[in-house]
Amino acid sequence: MALLIALSLLRLPCTVFTSPPSGVEMASEEKNHTQGFKGSEPSFKDEEFTTSDQPHRLRRQLKNRHVAMISIGGVIGTGLFVGTATSLSNGGPVGLWLGYIVMGTIVLAVMVSLGEMVAYLPIAGGHIRLAERFVNPALSFAMGWNYWYNWTIIAELSAAALLIDYWHPNVNNAVWVIITIVVVVTINMLGAGAYGEAEFCFAMIKVLTISGLIILGVIIDLGGGPNHDRLGFRYWKNPGPFAQFDGIAGSKGRFLGWWSVLNNAAFSFIGTEIVAIAAGETKNPRRNLPRAIRRVYIRILLFYILGTFIIGLLVPYTNPQLLLASGTAASPFVIAIETAGIKALPSIINACLLTSAWSAASSDLYTSSRALYGLAAVGSAPRIFLRTSKSGLPYVSVTFCASFTLLAFMAASASAGKVFEWFSAMTSVAGLMTWFGICITYIRFHKGMKVQGIDRTTLPYYTRFQPFAAWYGAVWTFVICLFNGWSVFLKGQWNTATFVTSYLPLILFPILYIGARLVYRTSPVKPEDMDFQSDIAQIEADEVPEEPPKNKVEAFWAWLM
């Protein structure tokens, strides 16, 4: 990674490239908006790097149902099924619930900001390219490499090993890591269409699983399980609604317990912005992306707010199985089902959770490879990563990013639960920094629209909460990042691994940004100079009429998706 960034900063000859911003197979006759980096020419031209005489580029293969399910898949993952174990242990049932509510509001603020920009300009590279256009090429550089780093660390591979440990605790975790890597890499090497179909199926399993678990949780709580034990709000009373973090008494301990939930909750929500990266491969993006963004509201409310509320009713925060470092399956849902005396169901649920880990890992590889492609498209990475097959697969980017899955073999030499905690901490901070960059980009986007007199109500998607929502998201994400590793500063709690995984991404981001500013001598884009017109003609030309539903079944499916 350090070598790649160094090559990008030095701008070796292999790094000069800019693809058409729309990332589709048809060449745009509009001016390509690529500012480049001042003082470090050569200038960027619209040239192709291919393996034949014909240009190969990303193709729009993702349909509405794919985008809809990808947006769901980005919300439901191992963070909800497994990561909530640590959150419940640290914060207690009410601390867990309130933590996810607060994080849910932050996610909504980020997504409405991102949605407005990416629905208007659905270009390859998503928010990475938008940062270059509306803020500064240096911010695009920092966001791009941060985002790539975020998704290259595939925490779900260790989560998969953690889940399979439930059945075979005596088998080396390396076996399960290899199987998961093969599944994930195969899906991604088959292209965006195959990824969309796989994610569609995986997301359907996720939705059915979490919906079934919530319903089952209500039944168990009301005494409908084999043991007929009516739980009610028992665990809210004993051991209590809030956990005393690290044994710290009083309101201070309860507040610290709630605060510790926020970083874990961030890992659960990281991925909602994947629809932006998929914009360059989405059919009819100006119609389909706003639909996906609007449905984020109900998904957060249903899956996370309601899901964490049910978890707090079913398992006491003192349950030792919640400690991921113990190496157990650790899903609060599985723990509750076992406690209720349901024998066969835990294995079935764990199998569903395993498909969730596969899905999330597949999304990680897809996103990291497209982020690397977007970096190469703006000249921030070697242009070899722009090589694509005739079907539009960026196979060099996919192969390179897939090589980092080997980090998951750390789970073979250490506790899979501990490795999962390390990886989730690293991806949480990097993801939060991405959200921070998205909010800053939107604030500048909003300012440019206002200065140039563009009516935001004419955009494909907009909200009335701006720019206040973007400021809310920016402030919260920065504060959470700044204090995410605070627990290591408690007396007797210093842990070098926790400190490094908590603060490495936070330290790396400003280094990347300042380094790019110094090397390329760039300055922020002035509101009056922001380009809101390039690529619009091509984007509109890519839109095709949707066939109306032929019957009530198709009409219902169209409404659902």
| pLDDT tens-place string over residues 398-410 | 888 888 877 767 6
The residues that bridge with 282 in the sheet, in sequence order, are 62
Q: How far is it, in rounded angstroms, from Cα 222 to Cα 557? A: 34
Residue 428 near residue 264 (C-beta atoms within 8 A): yes
Q: What is the largest CA-CA distance in the chain?
A: 74
Kindly state the average pLDDT of the residues 449-475: 89
pLDDT at 557: 56
* DSSP notation for 119-133: HH---TTTHHHHHHH
pLDDT at 175: 75
pLDDT at 431: 83
45, pLDDT greater than 50: no
CA 215 to chain centre: 27
177, pLDDT greater than 80: no
Please count the other Cβ atoms lying within 10 Å of the Cβ belonging to residue 127. 29
Please count the other Cβ atoms lying within 10 Å of the Cβ belonging to residue 482. 13
19, pLDDT greater than 60: no
Reading the block at residue 164, the tokens are 């399979």
13, pLDDT greater than 50: no
Reading the block at residue 167, the tokens are 């059945």
How much of the chain exceeds pLDDT 70, in percent? 70
pLDDT at 309: 92
237, pLDDT greater than 50: yes
pLDDT at 327: 42
The residues that bridge with 496 in the sheet, in sequence order, are none
pTM score, two decimals?
A: 0.76
Kindly state the average pLDDT of the residues 532-542: 73
- At residue 282, φ and ψ (nearest 5 deg) are -105, 130
Q: How far is it, in rounded angstroms, from Cα 128 to Cα 142? A: 9
For 486-503, write each residue's pLDDT tens digit: 777 777 778 787 788 778
pLDDT at 66: 54
* DSSP notation for 454-487: --GGGSSS--TTTTHHHHHHHHHHHHHHHTTTGG
Residue 75 near residue 296 (C-beta atoms within 8 A): yes
455, pLDDT greater than 70: yes
192, HSE (Cβ side, Cα atoms, 13 Å):
29
Q: How far is it, in rounded angstroms, from Cα 404 to Cα 407? A: 6
pLDDT-derived band of residue 330, with 50, 70 and 90 as boundaries?
low
Residue 317 near residue 85 (C-beta atoms within 8 A): no
* DSSP notation for 496-531: HHHHHHHHHHHHHHHHHHHHHHHHH---PPPGGG--
pLDDT at 189: 84
pLDDT at 444: 93
Which of residues 436 and 425 earns the better pLDDT score? 436
Residue 317 near residue 88 (C-beta atoms within 8 A): yes
pLDDT at 441: 93
Residue of 297, 300, 242 whose CA lies nearest to 115:
297
Which of residues 213 and 23 earns the better pLDDT score? 213
Q: Which residues contact 399 (CB under 8 A, 6 or more apart)?
A: none
pLDDT-derived band of residue 154, with 50, 70 and 90 as boundaries?
low
Kindly state the average pLDDT of the residues 81-99: 85
Residue type, 518: L
Please count the other Cβ atoms lying within 10 Å of the Cβ belonging to residue 180. 26
pLDDT at 51: 37
Residue 262 near residue 102 (C-beta atoms within 8 A): yes
Reading the block at residue 209, the tokens are 């699983």
pLDDT at 471: 95
* Coil/strand/helix, residue 376: helix
Kindly state the average pLDDT of the residues 267-274: 76
Please count the other Cβ atoms lying within 10 Å of the Cβ belonging to residue 230. 12
Report the number of secondary-structure helices (H) and strands (E) in the chain: 24, 0
Please count the other Cβ atoms lying within 10 Å of the Cβ belonging to residue 352. 19
343, pLDDT greater than 60: yes
CA angle 507-508-512, nearest 5°? Answer: 130
**Composition of the chain by helix, strand, coil, percent to 5:** 70, 0, 30
For 364-397, write each residue's pLDDT tens digit: 788 888 878 877 877 777 888 888 877 778 888 8
Residue type, 343: K
pLDDT at 84: 82
Which of residues 263 and 557 earns the better pLDDT score? 263
> Where is mean pLDDT largest: 194-203, 236-245, 299-308?
236-245
pLDDT at 16: 33
> Where is mean pLDDT largest: 54-68, 296-310, 426-440?
426-440
pLDDT at 446: 92
Q: Which of 49-63, 350-364, 378-392, 525-539 has the lowest mean pLDDT?
A: 49-63
Kindly state the average pLDDT of the residues 428-457: 89
The residues that bridge with 62 in the sheet, in sequence order, are 282
CA angle 86-143-462, nearest 5°? Answer: 90
CA 266 to chain centre: 9
Reading the block at residue 538, the tokens are 């091509």
Distance set, CA 288 to CA 62, 195, 275, 297 (Å): 10, 17, 10, 16
Q: Which residues contact 373 (CB under 8 A, 6 or more apart)?
A: 58, 124, 125, 385, 386, 394, 397
Residue 41 near residue 73 (C-beta atoms within 8 A): no
Kindly state the average pLDDT of the residues 141-166: 72
* DSSP notation for 144-169: HHHHHHHHHS-HHHHHHHHHHTTT-T
